[in-house]
């Protein structure tokens, strides 16, 4: 075996002979990234290393390079690592920003409270190990990141240690401990879900049915009703003067009078016998019916009339941030906006609703008028599929600036900074929530966002693995990695089991929702895949998406807190 390793090391060295430093680094990154991604796709019973495979491939490549005596430009590797980190956290912020603050409201508050419990307990567990002298701070940071399978937390650990002036030995510890504890971090999530299921005797199929029943009872989906005006007191009243209708959250999108279907406006005067097509939640529609008259026995459709309906997407800069009333589409184009779909949620188009990039408007009117509306609000397929580069680099610039601001705290040997992990993340969340400033639109097509995010984390993990490879094998051979592995089990399981028991035993949450919380708070996609495999239900994915933004931010900021507590 040793002879085989020597042969590989010699071939490795010959491969790099004569290569310029830049070509050497790029070549190594290409091999490591490709091999690591392939390794991550290998699954055992549906569970694999995922993106963590790149780290292990980098470790193998770094070890071979050391055996062959091959060196790499350290400054170049540092730049690639930090730039990959910036790309990764910035695209995460852009993705989660629009829903980040909304996730803290209503039912999301309870789920995010559980995520906070889980993240907080894992921080305390890692801090306890360091305070007890069981492991040094660098190893504790790596055990924390690996135990919760969070590569950005590892990136943040490297960054904060660099900020406080840690030496090369301390800088290497997080990556080594992460690699040792990462595999059980994935498996521990699945074991915790199974433990909660067994402890409470849960039937996943029954939980799925209960979730769907509760969801149907809570969701006020938009429906339609055709109402015949029978209230004689409304004869001759302007539709715009019926302020009760907007107050109910309903919208009148069509009017049938004397067999002619038309688009009503605020100036339209009602007549007894008119039939109105009203859009809104079922309960509000019933209240509108009692105000107007009775449900009609005809169904108003645009078929056979000169009216059409289209879904038009907001992409024009001139429409961004403007309310529906300010655009005055009724007055200018003689159309009615009956619905607004924002990120999969249907909204009643009240006059004060401000439009955001990507909103989908259901508009009713004549074909020429619909085309005029499309010119006003955009409806550009190209803009929806094109990543805006100027806003992206403006955001990265602001993130780098924020991450570099020193924070002077008592007891710290050096000022803390949010760094390249925290700064771009916070800026991206804020900019994505704002949506646009003038012509700058912080919207990124999902495909572009995913591509840049994957590129960033692959570059970061590849460089980290290469830098750690020369120490990893020595660490494992000496037995120093075995205690890390044991403590990683503790940091993984205690927060998961504690959160699962509180969620079910105290809060009585649906088991599938609990699975989504456990996977999302650990930012663990394999955990979500396991939950989805139990039974067909949207519950795990909805809970995962609810807690993921806050959990990811906390995981990235947690190393700063640990260093603040323990340095």
Q: What secondary structure letter does DSSP report for 503?
A: I
DSSP code per residue over 411-427: T-SS-B--HHHHHHHHH
Q: What is the pLDDT of residue 481?
A: 74
d(CA 40, CA 55): 10
| 361-380: average pLDDT | 85
Strands (DSSP E) found in 411-527: 436-437, 440-441
Residue 413 has pLDDT above 60, yes or no: no
Q: How confident is the model at residue 394 (pLDDT cuts 50, 70, 90)?
A: very high
Q: What is the pLDDT of residues 211-235, one digit of tens each?
A: 877 766 554 556 788 999 998 888 8
d(CA 499, CA 489): 16
| Dihedral angle over CA of 364, 365, 367, 369, nearest 10 | -120
Q: What is the pLDDT of residue 58?
A: 87
Q: What is the pLDDT of residue 219?
A: 46
Q: What is the pLDDT of residues 308-351, one digit of tens each?
A: 888 888 888 778 878 887 887 876 777 888 888 776 566 777 77
Closest to 136 in 3D by CA, of 112, 115, 114, 161: 161
d(CA 419, CA 397): 13
Q: What is the pLDDT of residue 398?
A: 94
d(CA 227, CA 225): 6
* Residue pointed to by tokens 């002036």: 165
Q: What is the pLDDT of residues 496-531, one digit of tens each?
A: 999 999 999 999 999 988 998 998 888 776 677 677
Q: What is the pLDDT of residue 392?
A: 92
Q: What is the pLDDT of residues 433-457, one digit of tens each?
A: 788 887 888 888 878 888 888 888 8
In terms of DSSP bridges, do strands 222-229 and 47-48 run parallel, antiparallel, or are they unpaired? unpaired
Residue 393 has pLDDT above 90, yes or no: yes
Average pLDDT, the chain: 81
CA 567 to chain centre: 31
d(CA 341, CA 484): 49
Q: What is the pLDDT of residue 409?
A: 64
Q: What is the pLDDT of residues 64-120, one digit of tens each?
A: 887 777 778 888 888 898 898 888 878 877 876 766 666 566 567 888 899 999 999
Q: Identify the helix (H) or strand (E) that includes residue 466.
A: helix 446-477
d(CA 260, CA 256): 6
| Residues facing 360 on adjacent strands | 313, 341
Q: What is the pLDDT of residue 302?
A: 67
Q: What is the pLDDT of residue 6?
A: 66
% of the chain exceeding 90 in pLDDT: 8
| Residues facing 251 on adjacent strands | 279
380 Cβ contact list (under 8 Å, min separation 6): 313, 315, 316
Q: Which of 7-16, 195-204, 481-490, 518-527 has the lowest mean pLDDT?
A: 7-16
d(CA 467, CA 66): 10
Closest to 310 in 3D by CA, of 264, 263, 379: 379
Q: What is the pLDDT of residues 155-214, one digit of tens each?
A: 778 777 877 777 777 787 888 888 778 767 776 887 888 889 888 988 888 888 888 777
* Residue pointed to by tokens 């078929």: 303
Q: Identify the helix (H) or strand (E) that includes residue 74.
A: helix 74-100
Q: HSE of 487 in the Cβ direction (CA atoms, 13 Å)?
A: 27
Residue 387 · residue 395 · CB < 8 Å: no
Closest to 559 in 3D by CA, of 55, 168, 122: 122
DSSP code per residue over 149-171: T-HHHHHHHHHHHHHTT--HHHH
Q: What is the pLDDT of residue 216?
A: 60
């Amino acid at each position: 075996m040793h002879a085989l390793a020597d042969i590989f090391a010699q071939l490795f060295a010959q491969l790099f002979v004569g290569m310029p430093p830049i070509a050497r680094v790029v070549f190594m990154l290409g091999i490591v990234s490709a091999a690591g991604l392939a390794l991550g796709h290998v699954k055992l019973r549906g569970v694999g290393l995922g993106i963590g495979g790149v780290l292990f491939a980098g470790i193998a490549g770094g070890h071979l390079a050391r055996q062959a005596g091959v060196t790499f430009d350290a400054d170049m590797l540092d730049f690639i690592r930090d730039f990959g980190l910036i790309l990764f956290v910035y695209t995460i912020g852009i993705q989660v920003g629009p829903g980040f603050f909304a996730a803290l409201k209503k039912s999301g508050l309870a789920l995010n409270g559980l995520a906070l419990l889980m993240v907080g307990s894992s921080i305390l567990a890692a801090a306890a190990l360091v305070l007890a002298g069981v492991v040094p701070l660098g190893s504790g940071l790596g055990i924390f990141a690996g135990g919760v399978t969070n590569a950005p937390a590892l990136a943040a650990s490297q960054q904060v240690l660099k900020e406080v002036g840690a030496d090369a030995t301390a800088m290497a510890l997080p990556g080594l401990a992460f690699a040792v504890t990462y595999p059980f971090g994935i498996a521990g999530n699945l074991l915790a879900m199974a433990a909660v299921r067994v402890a409470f005797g849960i039937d996943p199929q029954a939980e799925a049915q209960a979730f769907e029943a509760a969801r149907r009872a809570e969701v006020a989906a938009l429906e339609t009703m055709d109402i015949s005006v029978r209230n004689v007191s409304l004869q001759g009243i302007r539709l715009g003067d019926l302020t009760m209708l907007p107050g109910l959250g309903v919208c009148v999108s069509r009017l049938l009078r004397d067999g002619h279907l038309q688009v009503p406006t605020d100036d339209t005067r009602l007549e007894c016998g008119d039939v109105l097509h009203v859009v809104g939640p079922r309960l509000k529609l019933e209240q509108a019916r009692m105000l107007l008259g009775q449900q009609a026995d005809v169904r108003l459709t645009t078929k056979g009339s000169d009216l059409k309906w289209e879904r038009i997407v907001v992409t024009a800069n001139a429409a961004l941030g403007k309310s529906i009333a300010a655009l005055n589409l009724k007055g200018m184009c003689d159309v009615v906006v009956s619905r607004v779909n924002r990120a999969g949620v249907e909204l009643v188009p009240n006059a004060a609703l401000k439009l955001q990039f990507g909103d989908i408007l259901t508009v009713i009117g004549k074909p020429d008028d619909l085309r005029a509306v499309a010119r006003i609000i955009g409806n550009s397929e190209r803009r929806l599929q094109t990543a805006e580069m100027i806003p992206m680099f403006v955001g990265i610039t602001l993130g780098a600036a924020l991450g570099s601001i020193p924070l002077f705290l008592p007891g710290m040997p050096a000022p803390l900074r949010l760094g390249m992990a925290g700064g771009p993340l916070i800026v991206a969340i804020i900019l994505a929530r704002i949506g646009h400033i003038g012509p700058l639109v912080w919207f990124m097509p999902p495909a572009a966002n995913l591509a840049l995010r994957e590129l960033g984390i692959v570059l970061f993990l590849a460089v980290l693995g290469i830098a750690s490879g020369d120490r990893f094998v020595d660490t494992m051979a000496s037995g120093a990695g075995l205690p890390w592995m044991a403590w990683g089990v503790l940091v993984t399981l205690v927060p998961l089991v504690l959160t699962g028991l509180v969620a079910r035993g105290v809060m009585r949450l649906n088991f599938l929702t609990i699975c989504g919380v456990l996977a999302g708070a650990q930012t663990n996609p394999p955990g979500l895949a396991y939950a989805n495999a139990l039974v067909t239900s949207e519950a795990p994915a909805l809970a995962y998406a609810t807690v993921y933004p806050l959990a990811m931010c906390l995981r990235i900021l947690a190393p700063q807190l640990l260093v603040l507590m323990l340095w």
